């Protein structure tokens, strides 16, 4: 597909998201509402006429992050996230305000004990964990982890950070009381395997906490998401129509809490690994 067509799909998809968010949340901050209103206007103007410059960060994904010959899906994701790392915090901040608002606080309030955060990225959840938790973070990207280490130092927050693969967690079974994964299963190559690994490293009775974007419950927006991911899957392995809840159930977790927000495009899940007695029942 020509670049102009892929850019057009992405542009209209983002504008559609803005329109739905504007309609579905009357409590948006004034500056966020202005942003969404301007984005909706772009539907009439169309996408930019020229491709973005080759800069580091998310814009570079459309031109340089496609699969390379002989590259495994995991190696590709590592390369993509290393490329995105320098600009990630700035780029995600607005989306957190308009789309993912409250998600990190929700995770922090429910985490307890020995906490493992899978795909910790630049460590944006760190400020929200209770002071009495013991945090370990793992991520595929050393560039993201370098930023997370600086954040931990600035917060004076003790945390063990390790490079590793969510599909092959380098921990013994039953090592953690809580496992957290935020906005990452959408791009992990095999989310079912990653969730099974989360199950393995949790103690019986332990808590799984997930926040991610998923396919909308509103069909027109779900169709726009499908069109958008025709580009984003190839460009950076990013899926918009995945849903993690069925995979959590298949892994053997018991669902304790789930809520969908923003026209059904955001889902928060709290699940528990059964105790030995519950598993035998």
Strands in 202-213's sheet, in edge-to-edge order, are 159-163, 134-139, 114-118, 176-182, 202-213, 266-272, 254-261
pLDDT for residue 94 is more than 70? yes
List of domains in the chain? 3-84 (no CATH), 98-218+236-280 (3.40.50.150)
Dig out the tokens for 58 from the structure.
């998310």
CA dihedral 229, 226, 51, 59 (to 10 degrees): -40
Q: What is the pLDDT of residues 147-159, one digit of tens each?
A: 999 999 999 999 9
Q: What is the pLDDT of residue 23?
A: 46
- Predicted confidence band at 178 (pLDDT cuts at 50, 70, 90)? very high
Closest by Cα among 42, 33, 34 to 14: 42
The strand pair at 176-182 and 202-213 is best described as parallel
Q: What's the token pair of residue 128?
A: 């929200």
As a whole number of angstroms, the distance between CA 195 and CA 184 comes to 11
Q: Residues 217-243: pLDDT tens digits? A: 999 999 999 999 999 998 889 999 999
pLDDT of the residue at 217: 94
pTM of the model: 0.81
What is the per-residue pLDDT for 18?
A: 53
pLDDT at residue 95 in the model: 85
pLDDT at 173 over 70: yes
Question: What was the pLDDT predicted at 54?
Answer: 35
Out of 62-66, 131-135, 199-203, least confident range: 62-66
| pLDDT value of position 89 | 95
Which span out of 31-35, 43-47, 89-93 was modeled with the highest average pLDDT? 89-93
How far is it, in rounded angstroms, from Cα 187 to Cα 268? 17
Which of residues 216 and 12 earns the better pLDDT score? 216
When pLDDT is cut at 50, 70 and 90, the band that residue 279 belongs to is low
Residue among 135, 178, 165, 133 nearest 273 (CA) = 178
């Amino acid at each position: 597909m020509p670049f102009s067509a892929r850019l057009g799909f992405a542009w209209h998809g983002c504008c559609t998201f803005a329109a739905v968010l504007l309609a579905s949340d009357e409590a948006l901050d004034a500056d966020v509402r202005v942003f969404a209103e301007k984005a909706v206007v772009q539907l009439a103007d169309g996408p930019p006429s020229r491709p973005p410059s080759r800069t580091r960060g998310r814009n570079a994904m459309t031109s340089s992050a496609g699969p390379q010959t002989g590259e495994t899906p995991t190696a590709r994701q590592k390369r993509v996230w290393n490329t995105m790392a320098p600009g990630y915090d700035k780029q995600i901040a607005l989306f957190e305000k308009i789309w993912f608002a409250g998600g990190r606080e929700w995770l922090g309030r429910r985490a307890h004990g020995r906490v493992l955060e899978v795909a910790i990225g630049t460590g944006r959840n760190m400020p929200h964990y209770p002071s009495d938790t013991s945090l370990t973070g793992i991520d595929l990207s050393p560039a993201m982890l370098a930023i997370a280490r600086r954040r931990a130092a600035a917060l004076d927050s003790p945390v063990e950070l390790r490079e590793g693969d969510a599909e092959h967690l380098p921990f013994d079974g039953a090592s953690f009381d809580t496992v957290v994964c935020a906005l990452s299963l959408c791009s992990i190559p095999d989310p079912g395997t990653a969730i099974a690994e989360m199950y393995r490293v949790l103690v019986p009775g332990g808590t799984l906490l997930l926040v991610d974007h998923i396919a909308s419950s509103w069909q027109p927006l779900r169709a726009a998401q499908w069109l958008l991911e025709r580009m984003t899957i190839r460009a950076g392995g990013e899926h918009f129509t995945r849903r993690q809840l069925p995979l959590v159930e298949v892994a053997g977790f018991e669902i304790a809490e789930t809520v969908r927000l923003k026209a059904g495009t955001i889902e928060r899940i709290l699940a528990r690994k059964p105790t030995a007695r519950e598993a035998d029942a």
